[in-house]
Amino acid sequence: MMTLSNTCSLEVLTVIVGNYRIGRVLAHGGMATVYRGIYRPTGMPVAIKVLTEESSVDEVLVHRMHQEARIQNILGRQHSGIVTCYEEIEVDGRPAMVLEYVPGRSVLDIVEDDGVFEPLEAIDVVLATLDALSHAHHHGIVHRDVKGENILVTPQGAVKVTDFGVARAEVGGRNSRVTESRDLVGTMVYMAPEQLTSPRTVDHRADLYAVGVTLYEMLTGDVPFDGEEGYPLMKRIELEAPPDPRQFVPDLHECLVEVVFKSLEKDPDERYFSAGEMDAALRRCRKILTGAEDYDGPRPGENRRGEKTWYWEPSEPRPLPEPRSFGYLVDLSGNLMPGQILLRRAGLKIGRDPDRCDLIVPDDEVAAEHVLLLPLETGQVLLVDLLTDGQTTLNGEPVARAALEPGDEFELVGRWKFCFQR
């Protein structure tokens, strides 16, 4: 039987794999190739993403594909702005995933083929992107590779976000900007400064930085910081102020420039607190640009499928944690964003000092460094009270040091409550 490895250089050649007929290549990458496919029983068009032979023997990359499939299977069915994964299959013994086929082009392709976006068009695309990311953030998912290439626009103007959980390792042309590092996941020119220095502990605000870079690129045709990937580019992203987009588009309105600069702040605390806050700022800007009383486009929460998207059906597995993840915390107080915080190998320090803590609690009653969650190689997770003065309780009892079990609840100063889960 002819295998896909024999057909990668061909534009059109049909191969039957189970219920799917696989045809022409839609996109090439160093890690995977995406094919146009047909679900034979119904004739429904699909996209089939197949790992390369080299990637299929890499446990980390295989894990990331499984993670991407499970995340997009759940979130894609809940939210129409996220590309759905229908199922995982094998093609020639290699892991593959069957995705919703999205006709149209990526934002990057539109910029390269047609030129920059008009401000109102850019705002509308970014609003739809923020709506999808808001839903993902609500479920504790940080995309970490938001960029124009992963934002698809259909001929009808619908926007779809794709590529969750997988760092591409493409080589050549514009995709040479994609990092191949195991820890430094994403595309460097779109990375927030903290993603470069502490890639395992970034939160949803790194996605908002990447949205700001994408908006900058949509308006000007270029990213704020570009060049050969490496230490010099990393230091520029960390230290240099982004060029004013009005150098390229002189008549760009001040309100839109403010949104871009705020989203590109070096300090995550100086950026928008959530996708919803950035959404509100862009809507105010759109109102100024159009003179309209209001904008009736999709708002966060309005573009979701079904009435009860807030819960997980029992048959649906939760998304896999990242490699080296030891579980996650659920914020029971409801005041932090996102509501689920992944606990990685490096551990998690909770307090209110942004320079020394991984999770910042904005409360004067909480100490600068309050508690430490310390994963051990044995798989256990220790809760260590850095104060040892009774301000931390575990399941209602004061604690100085204890091993956490799934479902355990701990509380800081009687008001900030978290639940440990695996």
Q: Which residues are catalytic?
A: 145
Tokens 């590109």: give the residue.
264
Give the Cα separation of 181 and 229 in Å (integer).
12
Of 187, 174, 115, nearest in space to 147 by CA? 187
* Whole-angstrom distance, CA of residue 129 vs CA of residue 264: 17
**Could you tell me if 99 and 36 are in contact, meaning their C-beta atoms sit under 8 angstroms apart?**
no
Q: Give the pair of three-digit tokens for residue 283.
A: 């809507």
Spatial distance between the Cα atoms of 173 and 169, rounded to a whole number of angstroms: 12
Kind plus residue range of the DSSP H or E element containing 90? strand 85-91
Pair of tokens at residue 21: 């007929």
Per-residue DSSP letter, 305: S
Rounded distance, CA 129 to CA 408, Å? 35
Other C-beta atoms within 10 Å of 366: how many?
Answer: 22
My answer on whether omega of the bond before 338 falls inside 30° of 0, hence cis, is yes
Q: In what order do the strands lie in the sheet with 409-412?
A: 340-344, 325-331, 416-421, 409-412, 392-394, 397-398
| Ordered DSSP codes for 22-73 | EEEEEEE-SSEEEEEEEETTTTEEEEEEEE-TTGGG-HHHHHHHHHHHHHHH
Pairing of strands 348-351, 416-421: unpaired
